[in-house]
Every structure is written in C-alpha cells, then in structure tokens.
Amino acid sequence: MTTLTISAACLIDDAGRLLLVRKRNTQAFMLPGGKAEPGENAITALTRELQEELNLSLPAAALQPLGQFRAAAANEADTWIDASVFQAHLPHSVSAAAELEELRWLAPGDALPEALAPLLREHVLPLLWPMA
C-alpha cells in the first residue's frame, strides 16, 4: 500500500456551499488541493495547489485547520492518503484550471454525488455538517 501526503481545502461561499472538484479522467468529486512537493509544508502545498487548480490566491492566515485524516485515495488503487484539511471562506468565484475537469457546489442537505471521495464522505462532511 502506498500513502500520499496531501493538503485539501473546504472552500465555503457566501451561501454556505462547499466547493467540490473533479479531476480530468476521473469520476470522484473531492476537495481542491493535492500532493505536497518535496520541502513543502501543508499550507505551502495547499496555497500552491489552489493557485494552480482554481487561480485562487489565499493568504495562509485565511486557511483554518479542520483536521488531519487518513482515508482511501479516491482515484488511485491500493493507495491511502494522509490529508491535512483546512477551511476557508471563498472570497470570489473561481473556475477550473490545470487538471480540473469540473466544479460542483454542495449545500447542507443536498443529495450527495454518488462518486464522492472517501475523505469527504467518511471524515469531512460529518465534521462540517453533523446533522446533514
């Protein structure tokens, strides 16, 4: 089993919706973010990934730690992720860039997409919206 270290962001808009992303040639919706490059800490990796994937520049102070989680990787067989997850207010609209194929908004109480990353389904959504 391989383990990847990633950073991910729960980006919440003014309507209280959570931004989900889907990478090109994959099925699962997940949080924006990605793998750390050598020498990067969790915040540095996340701010770089948000810039690459969404053309979003957030200061490190805008990213509040939500937790550290372990889950099965959504798109890679026999792989686990160790995820540092942060939460931030999304200051403006964003669009998909780099390897992202699709953006989707999820509000509390919405039906969950069938293809949802284990990190989201098992850890993040129960923490964000415990009664949803």
Instruction: Tokens for 16, please give them.
Output: 């209280």
56 contacts 50 by C-beta, under 8 angstroms: yes
75 contacts 23 by C-beta, under 8 angstroms: yes
Query: Which pLDDT score, from 0 to 100, does residue 99 have?
Result: 87
Q: By C-alpha distance, which of 25, 49, 19, 24 is closest to 36?
A: 49
Query: Which pLDDT score, from 0 to 100, does residue 132 have?
Result: 55
The residues, ordered by sequence, that sit 6+ positions from 49 with a Cβ below 8 Å of its Cβ are 7, 32, 33, 34
- Specify the residue for token string 């924006």: 32
Query: Which pLDDT score, from 0 to 100, does residue 49 have?
Result: 95
63 contacts 42 by C-beta, under 8 angstroms: no
pLDDT in tens, the chain (132 residues): 899 999 999 999 999 999 999 999 999 999 999 999 999 999 999 999 999 999 999 999 999 999 999 999 998 889 999 999 999 999 889 999 888 999 999 999 899 988 999 999 999 999 998 865
Neighbours of 55 (CB within 10 A): 12
70 contacts 28 by C-beta, under 8 angstroms: no
SS3 content of the chain, % helix, strand, coil (to 5): 20, 40, 40
Give the chain's domains with CATH numbers. Answer: 2-128 (3.90.79.10)
At 35, which amino acid appears? K
pTM attached to this predicted model: 0.93
